[in-house]
A and B are shown apart, each in its own frame.
Chain A
Amino acid sequence: MKVVAAVNGLITSEIAAFYALRFAAQLGFPLTLLHVENRLDSLNDVERSMVIIEEAASENNVITERVFLTGYPIRAIRRFLSENRVDTLFCSTSRHRTFFQNSLRQQLTYLPIPVDLAVVQVVRLDAAHAVRNVVLPIEEDRLSVKKFSFFASFAKTYGAATEVYSVTLVDSEKLAKLDIHLTRSLLTKINDHLSHYVKLAHCMGIPLRIKHAVARNKIDQVLHHLAHHDFQLMIIGGRRQSGLSTLLRGNPIERLLHETPINTITFYGRDNG
């Protein structure tokens, strides 16, 4: 199994590759630096990025390889992924997007691919090298083992303290009816459901705490929490949905990615179908 990082010579993709490198180092996997040749990217910049990542990889005892593909990017990547045993593909995303822009990241999240996908939103350049606190926001107790293991890998590789931030959504009427007793029983139930993760984290030697919030808007609440605390990395779970579905139903993650004040990795589980 290998970890793949898509590199296009931009600083954001380079930082996404550093996260991939730390992930690969933690799991003992080799790191593949992948580039699909296209006229928009400077090959010099790509190669310079790869050199920097390879130097860092050798410091972390991670084996690297370079792969250059040609052709239509999404097809080339899917072919590469189907021909190789890949665990996770890391790619970066731009903070500012236009409505008509259909980036590689968007295409990768719309289409079924047979690997886990980690989309890295880089907003701070320095945060990839010193991560002290990692946060994983979830809705109530919805936390998959896949997502948790991805989150725990990062916590372990950086030796960071971790926090699972559970947000329970309620409407204003329900919020007004909540008293201490009701809230306590609600949060106790969530804690019970998440208790096995706490035990697992304890066994892995990762300091984990669970924090709760009851809110009317999940994204506002998470942004508020990030502003108040000193996190360097946030990991969130993403759901694959088509462009049409995004247009019709909206995608709250897009807003979170747009407004996040810290580096954020969105984790999409592999499509097993």
Chain B
Amino acid sequence: MLDRPALLRRLQATEQGLSVGQVNRRLREFGPNILEKTARKNYLVAYANHYCQLFALLLEVAAGLAFVADHFQPGEGTDILAWAILAAVVITATFTFWQEYRTDKVMAALLMLMPTLVTVRRQGKALRVDSKELVPGDIMLLEEGDKVAADGVLIEVNSLSLNLSSLTGESAPAPRELTAGKAVRQIEARNMVFAGTTVVTGSGSALVTGTASATEFGKIASLTRNVRKMLTPMQREVIHITRTMTIIAMISGAIFFGLGLFFGKGLLISSVFALSLIVANVPEGLLPTIALSLSLASQRMARRQALIKNLDSVETLGSTTVICTDKTGTLTRNEMTVKSLWLGGGEEVAVSGEGYREAGEFTLSYENESTPARLEELLMAGLLNCRASIDHDTLRGDPTELALIAAARKRGIEAPVLQKVHENIFTSDRKMMSTAYQKGETVHLFAKGALEVLLPRCTTYCGTDNTQQPLNEALKQQVNNQAEIFENQAYRVLAVARGEGEQEKELTLLGLVAIMDLPRAEVAAAVATCRVAGIRTMMITGDTPRTAAAIADQIGMTYDLLLTGLELERIHDEELEEILAGKDVLFARMASSQKLRIATALQNNGEVVAMTGDGVNDAPALKKADIGIAMGLTGTEVAKEAADMVLLDDNFSSIVTAIEEGRTVYFNIKKFVTYILASNIPEVLPYILHFFLKIPLPLSVIQILSIDLGSDILPGLALGCERPEKNIMLRPPVGRHEKILDWEVFKRGYLFLGFIEGMAAMVAFLTFLHLHGWHYGDQVLADPLLHRQAMTMTLLGAVTCQVLNVWTMRSWDFSAFSLGFFSNRLLLVAVTVEGIWIWMMLTLPPIQQVFNTAKVPIGDLWILLPFPILLFSSHEMYKWQRRRRGISAIPSQND
């Protein structure tokens, strides 16, 4: 091991720090101190990809065929059709891309929250510089609360301890020294500081030895790039839907192309006909509506403290079957609180008020005249022995000390101005600290620490009459018993004593302090919701089994087995999978790196895993989990980068809220897919009937596009914004193999609602023609206006049915009347816009020209009335039947 001067010399550094010239040269040699993120997204490629999706390719081919048809037979209007189809592709691609882009930007803004300034010594001066300008050889000056920006070896230490949890998962402060100790790995060296960690107490200076990706932080960050993730359920769904719809479109197009040729309709007519069927079968508005719906959901979730990075993850949340959660900060407040005190006279004092800033009350089990004085002396002794501080907006120092300060403030005690004579610092070996103050001629010593260390140094205790009484073995046993009672309740126990002189001996025991990081108030309800919703919750913590079990009990998290990190190491992967298949496990004393194994085992069992994490070491597990959830307040940049979702308030209940939102999105997408599919039948049926029967063409391709990309889009979107249904958290999670486009959707969309709409469209068309003197067999109408009016009736037949379809489709299982007319304002807007759109197509000549529509006599509109009413009432009946037969999960009276 090199001594300090030799080390500095070897690294071409001095205690004065580097010169400006050296810094510039090293910046060129080593580059800036910036962690390279995962491959930068090429937005041009991302945008181009949207033109290579299956739907887009299909439509592009269709447009190409239309151009070819126009080339051979110009003037038939196929060129307009081609341009219209291409416009549909461009609109869809641009819209979907825009949603992705906006979400990326939101995340980029969040990552900017990382602190960027560090203090260094250069040319003998302390300077605040941008952390990316830090170079190897620089001298970092570290103070309490600072975030370390690079790896370095310590050259000065003053009671320095670091929070290494971002690297090791261990939240207890790690004391630093000038020697490495018995380190096997670099991360264990006690004379090193590491990038991404935080100074908890003390100060020091360190010589930078590695920056950017050469730091331990950077190494782990690179791991996230190499963990491959499975497709999200939504990605699989979109692939499934597009593939199914494409196959249907292609098959129907091919069949009718063949039939056209067989019946001698000629190559051109047959291809245009096939093309029209393909366009009719492809739900062009589906993908942008899904993208927009997911985007709106992610915005709603951001308002509820869950920021979604990847849109597809919204829906994955709905499929979550297991939540693996950290304890500290997520289930608990991450603020230590003094909950109980035990005074030397034997009184127990309960303390109310949680966290560092809440007010509280002291309730004594019994008291005598001297009890308040002894209580205040105990609190004062704790307060005078703290280096931490609580200001208006900042907290500095060790959490245990912050808890002592907060407890003293609850009693209205502030530290008096006394001259500090000496301080014996806390180290992990000593397990105690003491501070001596001069008051008049006397030196008073206040000590706090682990009971097993402090108790042997006490010879007396503060008795019921506030006098010093000898502390005999029986009394020591009594103190130990009380400490054990506290420890069994998962409290951290501190003994507090005072003495005279600077020596830590012959002290007077003042009492015990029981401290705990309390569960968040809303967590117990969230855990209960998960249980009802069929979601397993598992705690993975670095804390002791006793603490983990106590917190689990307090929040009602049930478990069948408690496994420690060491026990987990001895278990094979297959065995772990077997355990996790049948049992809920509570993981204690776990290292962050073990999370990846747990996530993998759960996924191998077919579970959809949501995993929380904040440290750099958590990043691989966050990346591997189906939903990686990073902590917004305490999480590292790497964890946020690896995660799919960032919790802005670090709160477990926000995960449950997000899951509810995810499930809602899944069922809302199911609803609008059904809604959109229903309008496919009135688009396809006219072509089939026109092919087989001797009737004029009931609907043009451009009119089909006006439904798919015009009148259907806004109502579909409004369905995507529906509120959660009453039974949303009573259903089991959406299965990994469960599909949006399942038999129920197909049946309702195509065979039931679609059939009614198809009937509506054709009845409107044929009745209108019949009323105006048309006879069966006339395929070409003498009056083109009559034909356009009849086609408009077909269009209106489909659209009017869709207006009531969207109202009944608002709930998958419950009556549309139970939802409230104004509960979805976007739907009201959508229906209004749809009405205006129809009016424009009926009355405005330019629109009529583009969409081949015409004004219809008002007296003929009665033809349209029966079918929307039939559709609405029959679907309501169908849902009632489902409820009656118990197919839907109905909330009980208590829910």
Contacts and interface: CB of A to CB of B under 8 A. Distances in A.
A223 B226 contact: yes
A226 B2 CA distance: 26
A222 B281 CA distance: 49
B210 A125 contact: yes
B641 to A, nearest CB: 15
B136 interface: yes
B214 interface: yes
Contacts of A49: 12
Given A123-B214, A226-B219, A94 B209 contact: no
Interface string B782-826: 000000000000000000000000000000000000000000000
A74 to B, nearest CB: 20
A262 interface: yes
A129 B2 contact: yes
Interface stretch (B28-36, B347-355, B532-540, B555-563): B28-36
Interface string A85-121: 0000000001110000000000000000000000000
Contacts of B214: 123-124, 260-262
A126 B220 contact: no
A6 to B, nearest CB: 14
B223 A227 contact: yes
B10 A95 contact: no
Given A49-B12, A124-B151, A230-B187, 15 more contacts: A10-B26, A11-B26, A11-B137, A12-B30, A95-B31, A96-B28, A96-B31, A122-B29, A123-B213, A123-B214, A221-B226, A227-B220, A228-B223, A230-B186, A261-B218
Q: Is the interface of B mostly helix, strand, loop or mixed?
A: helix
Contacts of A94: 28-29
B186 A220 contact: no
A52 interface: yes
28 contacts: A10-B26, A10-B29, A11-B136, A12-B29, A14-B12, A18-B10, A95-B29, A96-B28, A122-B29, A123-B30, A123-B210, A123-B214, A124-B136, A125-B11, A125-B208, A126-B11, A126-B210, A220-B225, A220-B226, A223-B222, A224-B223, A226-B219, A227-B219, A227-B222, A230-B185, A230-B186, A230-B187, A259-B213
Interface in B180-195: 184-187
A52 B226 CA distance: 41
B209 A124 contact: yes
A226 B9 CA distance: 29
Contacts of A226: 219
Nearest to A45: B12
A11 B29 contact: yes
Contact of B30 (A14, A96, A232): A96
What is the size category of the interface that chain B forms with chain A? 20 to 34
A52 B9 contact: yes
A126 B185 contact: no
Interface string B133-146: 00011000000000
A48 B214 CA distance: 26
B153 interface: yes
Nearest to B209: A126
Among B137, B185, B186, B218: residue with most chain A CB under 10 A: B186
Among B10, B26, B184, B225: residue with most chain A CB under 10 A: B10
B25 interface: yes
Nearest to B220: A227
A106 to B, nearest CB: 15
Nearest to B180: A130
Contacts of B215: 261
Contacts of B2: 129
A227 B219 CA distance: 5
Nearest to B30: A95
A48 B12 CA distance: 9
A226 B226 CA distance: 12
Given A11-B12, A12-B29, A224 B226 contact: yes
Contact of B222 (A48, A124, A261): A261
Among B25, B31, B213, B214: residue with most chain A CB under 10 A: B214
